[in-house]
Amino acid sequence: MAGPLAGIRVIDLTHMLAGPMATMMLADQGAEVIKIEPPHHGDPGRSRGRPIGMAPGFAMLGRNKRSVVIDLKQRRGVELLYRLIERADLFVQNFRPGTAERLGLGEPELRRIKPDLVYVSISGFGESGPLAHKRAYDPVIQAAAGVASIQGDRASGRPRMVRVIVSDKVTALTAAQAMTAALFARQRSGEGQHVRLAMLDAVLSFLWPEEMDNYTYPDSDHFNKLNVRDLVYETADGYITMAAIGDDEWRATCRALGHPEWLDDPRFRTQADRIANADERFDLTGQALKTRSSAEWLGILDREQVPCAPILSPAQVIEDAQVRHNRLVVEYQHPMAGRTRQTRPAARFERTPQEIRHPAPTLGQDTDEVLGELGVSREELAALRAAGVLG
């Protein structure tokens, strides 16, 4: 069975992580994603962290896509792309603001070729404004959006970065949802549109449920009470996490930890009290949890239905019983990346399932086939290649 986006053709000019992850999600859902790459080295993400072959990250982000090499700095290359646009539904690029227009690939130019095209621009800070010119990688956005401050060390006040590339991934999830929404709107109205997305906007919107308290209570430390402590608790032999948000969960926690007197403690009677006295609550909870092993506490907390989990290493996560039961991690031999493990597409569609149809392509692997579908002859392909247009 075909995926939910079968029949949708995407022209993908994105590189690195945010754009490629977003288009990977569309490809997993059945869209035909044609990845346009420059000659010689292609997407810089291909070899990220690996001098030869294919980086494992790209082996995932490039799956289910077709790779076409075109030199867009040559007019003949741009003309080839125009021919691809004629048959496309969606065009997505994450060049720095102004670059697409200089190449002749701005939204007005492509709209003349394909009036109902969904045109998507992903940028770091937006297409205009005081920071629009800046290069934007994950740590830059983490800093500008407040992530590093929120993650900061309480004792020293030193900001800290999240150790995964969170900004690009949040942007990718936001972009994938926006693209499918724009395609749905086009199906209803028959009209395409320009979708603009800045990484800064995506990450700040993602943070807003916590950030909102900072603006609701500008004259108090309410926000800081919520965010200064993590929920990592040491046990007799390791670490676990547990959380009690509602009153029922707090009562269950007091029973599980053997401290019913906390229920009558005026510092902890309501959720607002527990937030105001978070330090004392965390300290008392932490002291209690040091008295037994992780396995013992997890069993007790589970019986009382207190939200909890062991703190697992990445290697342990892969072997976790629930992860294995969900059949989330798949493994195969990639011709360039070698033995590769990836997560399957997370969402499960009952009638139009997502699937990994084919591995990430080598650079330019599909150039001749895709351009041949446009009617470009073998002789013309040879001439374009000799001229460097196809690398």
**What is the H or E stretch that residue 197 is in?**
strand 194-198
What mean pLDDT is predicted for residues 235-262? 95
Residues catalogued as catalytic = 168
What mean pLDDT is predicted for residues 360-384? 96
Whether 1 has a pLDDT exceeding 70, the answer reads: no
pLDDT attached to residue 216: 57
Average pLDDT, the chain: 92
Answer whether 9-207+325-386 and 233-310 agree in fold. Answer: no
**What is the H or E stretch that residue 241 is in?**
strand 239-242
What's the pTM? 0.91
Whether 297 has a pLDDT exceeding 90, the answer reads: yes
The CA-based angle 170-172-175, given to 5 degrees, is 110
> Model confidence over 17-59: pLDDT tens digits?
999 999 999 999 999 999 999 998 899 998 876 655 688 889 9
Gap between the Cα atoms of 154 and 329, Å rounded: 36
Answer with the residue of higher pLDDT: 230 or 165.
165
Gap between the terminal Cα atoms of the chain: 36
pLDDT attached to residue 130: 94
pLDDT attached to residue 312: 95
pLDDT attached to residue 48: 77
Query: Among 27, 6, 140, 48, which residue's Cα sits nearest to residue 92?
Result: 27
The CA-based angle 22-25-29, given to 5 degrees, is 145
Gap between the Cα atoms of 259 and 242, Å rounded: 16
Gap between the Cα atoms of 259 and 256, Å rounded: 8
Q: Which residues pair with 330 in a beta bridge?
A: 342
CATH 3.40.50.10540 is held by the domain 9-207+325-386: yes
Whether 109 has a pLDDT exceeding 90, the answer reads: yes
pLDDT attached to residue 154: 77
Domain range list for the chain: 9-207+325-386, 233-310
pLDDT attached to residue 102: 96
> Model confidence over 376-388: pLDDT tens digits?
999 999 999 999 9
Q: What 3-state class would DSSP assign to 342? A: strand
Listed in sequence order, the DSSP H helices in the chain are 18-28, 56-61, 75-85, 99-102, 107-113, 138-145, 147-150, 166-189, 199-216, 222-227, 247-257, 271-276, 278-289, 294-303, 314-319, 321-325, 367-373, 378-386
Gap between the Cα atoms of 86 and 112, Å rounded: 10
**β pairing state of 90-93 and 65-69:** unpaired
Whether 225 has a pLDDT exceeding 50, the answer reads: no
Q: If you average pLDDT over each of 165-174, 327-336, 356-365, which comes out highest?
A: 165-174
Gap between the Cα atoms of 169 and 343, Å rounded: 15
- Level-2 CATH architecture, domain 233-310: 2-Layer Sandwich (3.30)
pLDDT band at 257 (very low <50, low <70, confident <90, very high): very high
Whether 217 has a pLDDT exceeding 60, the answer reads: no
What mean pLDDT is predicted for residues 267-291? 94
What mean pLDDT is predicted for residues 83-93? 98
- Number of Cβ within a 10 Å radius of residue 164: 9
What mean pLDDT is predicted for residues 103-122? 98
Binning the chain into helix, strand and coil, the percentages to the nearest 5 are 45, 15, 40
Whether 89 has a pLDDT exceeding 70, the answer reads: yes
pLDDT attached to residue 227: 52
